[in-house]
Structure 1
Amino acid sequence: MKSGPDLNRFGPIGLVVVQSTSLCNLDCSYCYLPDRQKKRVFYLELLPLLVQRILESPYAGPEFSLVWHAGEPLTLPTGWYDEATVILQCSLAERGAEGLEFTQHVQTNATLINDAWCDCFHPNRIVVGISVDGPEEIHDAHRRFRNGRGSHALAMKGIEALHRNNVPFHCISVLTADAMEQPELMYRFFRDHGINDVGFNVEEQEGIHTSSSMQGSAMEAKYRDFLRAFWHLSEQDGYPVVLREFQQVISLIQGNQRMTQNELNRPFSILSVDWQGNFSTFDPELLSVASDRYGTFNLGNLKDVSLVESTQTDQFQRLFTNMSRGVETCHNGCEYFGLCGGGNGSNKFWEHGSLASSETNACRFGTQIPVQVLLERFEAGPPLTHQPTH
């Protein structure tokens, strides 16, 4: 019997996504951010207030990660992050939070990474995530500069700098239809460039990106074949490219656990803050999005309202009620609920126009197909040695 979602549970805040700048030096074809050509910068003076809002709330937990994201963070100078790190450390110390486990992350397209950036990552203990879509012809079809030039060559220089300076990193790759026919080329790209921690984000319909090359049952079948081939190549080769899509399911199965909800639909498990200090919860992709149905998904500004006060507004109650209905619908009607916890609100909104909906294209690609491929592999028997748990 499936466990029902605990829809009264808020927090703890484990992830804080902060838009250090809205500017991105790329113009990727599938990007959902509307203002990525504008250089708007987060006010560092807001960092002590951000720490205060988190720690004064009942949603604070024993740890959280702050991720600089939602633009290209490295378009700001290294000194900006040096200053931000000092402010964060001082703010946590002033509030007696020395025992709190805090990590700082950056998600970057890697095109600006050089030795100077690696010298910034090391002392500031910044965990690096890069976004690269595979070999040149696949990557450059979508990840281009505004002049139309591909970004692959510069991204590879960034990866070389990370390796040269012994900076560990993980990778996110957006999968489009271009990659589906070439699983071997994709696998060998990661293997040959020493990338062994990969998450596949299947191209989604979201924000200003209103269509996806990965829609339809034919693409679902191709993705299933792609994952099968990718896993087989990893086993055959002995190089453990650990895929996020499989890792979460393996961890749940090995621990005999099931989800009753996930952090993307549980209030104040994630806190997202834009460059002005406006904040939201649920999916970071909903930050500063406006809609006819819900208005803005923002809940207020750090300068004006506490996190608890934001939950007492009509706006939050409308979002929460709709999100809860969507999770309940998933729980009552989807056999994969225990392995995804009710889906992602942003995908429900962008595909169906409502948070109170259920299955999405993102569900099928993000959970259902990887689970099907994984269970097939379990049933086939050993070896399963190249998807180690972290």
Structure 2
Amino acid sequence: MTTTSPDISRFGPIGLVVIQSTSLCNLDCSYCYLPDRKSRKIFDLELLPLLMQRIFESPFFGEELSLVWHAGEPLTLPCSYYDRATQLINEAVEQWTNGTVHVEQHVQTNATLINDAWCECFRRNKIIVGISVDGPKDIHDANRCFGNGEGSHVHSMRGIEALKRNKIPFHAIAVVTATAMDHPNEMYQFFRDNEIHSVGFNVEEQEGEHTSSSMQGYEREEQYRQFLESFWQLSEQDGFPVVLREFDQVISLIRENRRLNQNELNRPYSILSVDWQGNFSTFDPELLSVSSKLYGTFDLGSIRNISLMEAAKTERFQTLWKDMLSGVKRCEKECNYFGFCGGGMGSNKFWEHGSLNCSETNACRFNNKIPVDVLLDRFKSSPPIDNETPF
């Protein structure tokens, strides 16, 4: 069912497209939120030209586009899959934009399958690599295991060594659990000693299939504050060899004297997520293929039978957008940290409160408020000197 045309002035441009190349994952991490990760369901590359068409025929695309293969373990598919994908992407860019749009491919992988052949695949297809590794062996293997219970750390480290040996740049994401917070020194030393220079911390969340988190409660918030303080101090002492995403984002805003009015996770068609079947959603990718009593599904349709603009006219989209926008406005009204986050993530609001029309979440305290407080307290107590800190 369609309704009237929406006001698209606050929509797009699409900067990120997340594609589930396969639902299968070779790991069974304890905190994973994804269903169907034990079955091999594959995104048919014959759909890729249609997906690119849907993007380029819409009013929502810009001059640059990051396409991320994610949501499952992408490397359980062969290198030839991504060789073919690159060819199809390049052909679509030429056909629809005369080559004026720059598309950058990324892959998010647990690194367990990376070898020299994969490194060559990344190089020839110019794929930017993100790995998931939770730190030292004991911390990593507590949650990131194969289906038989065997820890994956040794396999991930073998993949990391292959990347380094082949001089393939990469960044890392680490899920922080209650266990990790007891070991800030070991966590920092792991990333420093393994020359992992860019790291993002994803605090364990209540999300999807993962219905509880070890990081809930005021006590955990204080622990995480101390954990980040220690991580900053250790990196500062070494001359900042490890750039932490959470600090870097805040520092960029402070440097530029800039505040957010909205973020890409709650702005329609800033992010487009597509599952293996071709169903798509917008807002943050964790909402893809999620169903609820309040909203039904968060999917807006299939690329096979509806355009992005047509999807934005549907009653489903406008219900989601109304509640998302109302929640963002509540954040702006109620929260002094709004300028640093732009209204939070819809998936966290939904999983924690059952609705998009709400404000503070446990996740936003960990992902935004605590890192901001740690940095501001640090700079108040000891103002930075040029060339001494990244500030």
Offset of residue 96 of structure 1? 2.9
- Alignment check: 8 A CA contact 1:243 1:387 kept: no
Counterpart of 1:19? 20
* Larger mean Cα displacement after TM superposition, 81-90 or 376-385: 376-385
Indicate whether 1:353 and 2:354 are aligned: yes
Indicate whether 1:125 and 2:118 are aligned: no
Q: Quick one: structure 1 residues 7 and 47, their matched pair in 2 at CA, closer, same or farther if it must change by over 3 Å?
A: closer
The amino acid that maps onto 1:164 is R
- Alignment check: 8 A CA contact 2:239 2:389 kept: no
Offset of residue 100 of structure 1? 1.1
The amino acid that maps onto 1:105 is H
CA distance in 1, matches of 2:226, 2:172: 22
Which consecutive residues of structure 1, in runs of 5 or more, have no partner in the other structure? 1-5
TM-score of the superposed pair, with normalisation by structure 2: 0.96
2:384 aligned to which of 379, 382, 385: 382
1:1-390 → structure 2 map (5 Å cutoff): 8-379=9-380, 380-382=382-384, 388=390
Aligned residue pair count: 384
Offset of residue 238 of structure 1? 2.4
Secondary structure at the aligned position of 1:172 is classed as strand
Offset of residue 89 of structure 1? 0.6
Offset of residue 179 of structure 1? 0.6
Offset of residue 97 of structure 1? 3.9
Offset of residue 350 of structure 1? 0.1
CA distance in 2, matches of 1:72, 1:233: 33
Q: Quick one: structure 1 residues 385 and 352, their matched pair in 2 at CA, closer, same or farther if it must change by over 3 Å?
A: farther
Q: Quick one: structure 1 residues 25 and 52, their matched pair in 2 at CA, closer, same or farther if it must change by over 3 Å?
A: same
Q: Quick one: structure 1 residues 384 and 152, their matched pair in 2 at CA, closer, same or farther if it must change by over 3 Å?
A: farther
- Alignment check: 8 A CA contact 2:56 2:97 kept: no
Q: Quick one: structure 1 residues 386 and 66, their matched pair in 2 at CA, closer, same or farther if it must change by over 3 Å?
A: farther
CA distance in 2, matches of 1:151, 1:87: 33
- Alignment check: 8 A CA contact 1:228 1:373 kept: yes
Q: Quick one: structure 1 residues 249 and 55, their matched pair in 2 at CA, closer, same or farther if it must change by over 3 Å?
A: same
Offset of residue 388 of structure 1? 3.9
The amino acid that maps onto 1:61 is G
Offset of residue 292 of structure 1? 1.0
- Alignment check: 8 A CA contact 2:28 2:147 kept: yes
CA distance in 1, matches of 2:294, 2:271: 22
Q: Quick one: structure 1 residues 139 and 387, their matched pair in 2 at CA, closer, same or farther if it must change by over 3 Å?
A: farther
- Alignment check: 8 A CA contact 1:240 1:387 kept: no
- Alignment check: 8 A CA contact 2:93 2:100 kept: no
Secondary structure at the aligned position of 2:118 is classed as helix
CA distance in 1, matches of 2:290, 2:104: 27
- Alignment check: 8 A CA contact 2:130 2:172 kept: yes
Q: Structure 1, residues 309-360: CA drift from partner, whole Å, max 9, x if none?
A: 0011111011001101100100111000011000000000000000001000
Q: Quick one: structure 1 residues 28 and 385, their matched pair in 2 at CA, closer, same or farther if it must change by over 3 Å?
A: farther
The amino acid that maps onto 1:158 is G
CA distance in 1, matches of 2:340, 2:269: 21
Counterpart of 2:3? none
- Alignment check: 8 A CA contact 1:241 1:386 kept: no
CA distance in 1, matches of 2:8, 2:251: 25
Offset of residue 95 of structure 1? 1.4
Offset of residue 210 of structure 1? 0.6
Counterpart of 2:4? none
CA distance in 1, matches of 2:175, 2:254: 26
CA distance in 1, matches of 2:97, 2:103: 13
Secondary structure at the aligned position of 1:103 is classed as strand
* CA-atom RMSD in angstroms: 1.3
- Alignment check: 8 A CA contact 1:31 1:209 kept: yes
Q: Quick one: structure 1 residues 384 and 326, their matched pair in 2 at CA, closer, same or farther if it must change by over 3 Å?
A: farther
TM-score of the superposed pair, with normalisation by structure 1: 0.97
Secondary structure at the aligned position of 2:10 is classed as coil
CA distance in 2, matches of 1:180, 1:340: 23
Identity of aligned residues (%): 66
- Alignment check: 8 A CA contact 1:235 1:383 kept: no
The amino acid that maps onto 2:167 is N
Offset of residue 377 of structure 1? 1.3
CA distance in 2, matches of 1:219, 1:210: 17
The amino acid that maps onto 1:160 is E
Q: Quick one: structure 1 residues 58 and 342, their matched pair in 2 at CA, closer, same or farther if it must change by over 3 Å?
A: same
Secondary structure at the aligned position of 2:111 is classed as coil
CA distance in 1, matches of 2:177, 2:45: 36
Which consecutive residues of structure 2, in runs of 5 or more, have no partner in the other structure? 1-6
Counterpart of 1:3? none
Secondary structure at the aligned position of 1:95 is classed as helix
